[in-house]
């Protein structure tokens, strides 16, 4: 693996491609729908230099898919992208053995990175997680993006970030922290922005970009890719007032509705992306259970949110 090239290409909008399902009894994979969606993202201007596509992440229903389905979905995204942008494969799992298999599978199908977070369910120690990442690095010569999922598992501390920097394959850090007041988020971006390509998963895009972050987790791209292209352009120009205005007008209402659904109806990821995709005329679906189907209950709320944010292509009320 060429570390410098892998780190350099890990930049721009970090787009979590939703996994689409058929509306049948098994909610079977809709691979053609996924390919069409990737084509929409590319057609909207997302490409190498301003985007990285994540297949089978949390918004891609990884937790409800079999190992084989995860590989098939990632393969479909890699095929549809066709080398026009880097692709990461979600490799979260509770098993080190399965992590090794996912790392090898990602390499074999042509993905550029795997996304790895601390195993969930048990509260593993930092040493557990360190050895887990080492196992992935030893299994495959592929770029590793470490994801700090402190809300489901052991969080990544400043000290652990320093140890992870010693693993050559670790090129990216998808970063958020639970207590913004301690400014650990800023400390890590500033201290390790030259070692890793830091992906901001906390919506602090102005601050993180100023400190050296190079990637930005953006759900909006799934239904408005041109917005993501413009976001990266404004960040590169350091037009920070414009960037913050874009986030306030477009991303904040999405996050507000997502939070509302989490509090009063169901939990998961990707379901609001997919509902918004439906409302702009794209292939879509529900998420697999146990996440409940949000479409009927929140369709009009989502439509209103999109219209207020100025999203193009929104379909009219039925």
Q: What is the pTM of this model?
A: 0.96
Residue 14, C-beta contacts closer than 8 angstroms, at least 6 positions apart: 51, 52, 54, 174, 199, 215, 216, 217, 218
Cα-based torsion angle of the residue sequence 41, 114, 122, 167 in order, rounded to the nearest 10 degrees: -140
**Annotated catalytic residue 147:** yes
Would residue 286 count as lying in a domain? no
**Looking at 113, 174, 192, 298, which residue is catalytic?**
174
The gap from C-alpha 32 to its chain's centroid, in whole angstroms, comes to 21
Burial classification of residue 147, based on how many CB atoms lie within 10 Å of its CB (0-12 exposed, 13-18 middle, 19 or more buried) = buried
Residue 275 in domain: no
In a domain, 279, yes or no: no
Is 298 marked active-site? no
Domain-embedded: residue 294 = no
Residue 21: the pLDDT is 98
Q: How far, rounded to the nearest angstrom, does the alpha carbon of residue 115 sit from its chain's CA centroid? A: 9
The pLDDT assigned to 317 comes to: 58
Decide if 101 is inside a domain: yes
CA distance 59 to 34: 13
pLDDT of residue 146: 97
Task: Read off the tokens for 315.
Answer: 């379909």
Q: Two tokens at 150?
A: 């402190």
Token couple for 59: 């918004």
- Total domains in the fold of the chain: 1
Which residues of the chain are under the pLDDT cut of 50?
none
Helices 271-279 & 252-264 angle (0-180, nearest 10): 120
For residue 197, list its beta bridge partners.
172
Does residue 229 contact residue 45 with C-beta atoms inside 8 Å? yes
According to the model, what pLDDT value does residue 140 have? 96
CB of 88 within 8 A of CB of 265?
no
77: containing domain: 3-239
From 147, 192, 223, 298, active-site residue = 147
To the nearest 10 degrees (0 to 180), the angle between helices 126-139 and 96-109 is 30
How does pLDDT run across 225-265, given as a tens digit for each residue? 999 999 999 999 999 999 999 999 999 999 999 999 999 99
Residue 122 confidence (pLDDT)? 87
Residue 317 lies in a domain: no
Burial, 146: exposed, middle or buried (Cβ in 10 Å; 0-12, 13-18, 19+)?
buried
Pairing assessment for the beta strands 12-17 and 113-117 based on DSSP bridges:
unpaired
Residue 301 belongs to a domain: no
Question: Does residue 244 form part of some domain?
Answer: no
Q: What is the CATH number of the domain that holds 173?
A: 3.20.20.70
């Amino acid at each position: 693996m060429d570390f410098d090239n892998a780190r350099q290409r890990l930049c721009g909008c970090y787009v979590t491609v939703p996994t689409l399902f058929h509306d049948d009894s098994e909610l079977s994979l809709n691979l053609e729908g996924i390919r069409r969606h990737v084509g929409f993202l590319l057609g909207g201007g997302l490409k190498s230099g301003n985007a990285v596509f994540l297949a089978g992440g949390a918004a891609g229903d990884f937790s409800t898919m079999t190992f084989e389905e995860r590989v098939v979905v990632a393969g479909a995204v890699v095929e549809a992208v066709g080398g026009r942008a880097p692709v990461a494969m979600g490799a979260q799992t509770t098993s080190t053995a399965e992590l090794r298999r996912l790392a090898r599978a990602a390499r074999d199908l042509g993905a550029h990175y795997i996304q790895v977070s601390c195993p969930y369910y048990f509260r593993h120690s930092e040493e557990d997680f360190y050895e887990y990442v080492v196992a992935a690095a030893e299994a495959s010569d592929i770029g590793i993006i470490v994801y700090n999922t402190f809300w489901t598992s052991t969080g990544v501390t400043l000290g652990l970030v320093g140890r992870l920097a010693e693993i050559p394959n670790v090129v990216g850090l998808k970063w958020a922290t639970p207590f913004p007041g301690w400014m650990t988020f800023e400390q890590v971006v500033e201290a390790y922005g030259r070692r890793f390509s830091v992906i901001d998963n906390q919506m602090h895009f102005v601050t993180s970009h100023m400190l050296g972050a190079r990637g930005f987790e953006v759900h909006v791209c799934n239904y408005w890719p041109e917005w993501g292209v413009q976001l990266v352009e404004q960040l590169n120009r350091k037009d920070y007032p414009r960037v913050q205005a874009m986030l306030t007008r477009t991303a904040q209402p999405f996050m507000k509705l997502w939070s509302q659904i989490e509090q009063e109806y169901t939990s998961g990821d990707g379901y609001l992306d997919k509902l918004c995709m439906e409302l702009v005329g794209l292939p879509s679906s529900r998420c697999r259970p146990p996440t409940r189907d949000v479409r009927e209950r929140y369709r009009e709320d989502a439509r209103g949110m999109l219209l207020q944010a100025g999203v193009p292509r929104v379909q009219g009320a039925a």
